[in-house]
């Protein structure tokens, strides 16, 4: 998108550019191709017999105590913690360096 829409029409530096509908078409074609691919090539295993509540709780506990769940929790906690870090110089940087009014 950055190269194809960097023409004079969009105040860019290139002599050529795609229109918005051209870019959308370039993105829609692979998405449209994926519909029959997923319909015909992906196979799902047949459903097993219904699980009991005890089996369901055991499987849930295994998921909750696994590494993947720990990493999801760490990601959620750390990204929100890091995003909340601010600086007192932020306002002055915006005003003097970035010239934001």
- Per-residue pLDDT at 50: 85
- Per-residue pLDDT at 38: 93
Question: Is 3 within 8 Å of 22 (Cβ atoms)?
Answer: no
- Per-residue pLDDT at 71: 96
Question: Is 26 within 8 Å of 19 (Cβ atoms)?
Answer: no
**Whole-structure pTM value:** 0.42
- Per-residue pLDDT at 101: 67
Low-confidence ranges of the chain (pLDDT < 50): none
- Per-residue pLDDT at 60: 94
Residues contacting 1, CB < 8 A, separation 6+: 23
């Amino acid at each position: 998108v950055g190269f194809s829409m960097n023409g004079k029409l969009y105040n860019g530096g290139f002599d050529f550019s795609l229109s918005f509908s051209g870019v959308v078409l370039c993105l829609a074609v692979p998405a449209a191709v994926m519909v029959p691919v997923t319909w015909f090539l992906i196979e799902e295993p047949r459903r097993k017999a219904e699980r009991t509540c005890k089996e369901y709780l055991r499987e849930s506990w295994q998921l909750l105590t696994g590494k993947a769940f720990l990493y999801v929790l760490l990601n959620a906690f750390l990204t929100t913690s890091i995003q909340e870090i601010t600086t007192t110089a932020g306002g002055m940087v915006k005003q003097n360096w970035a010239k934001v009014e």
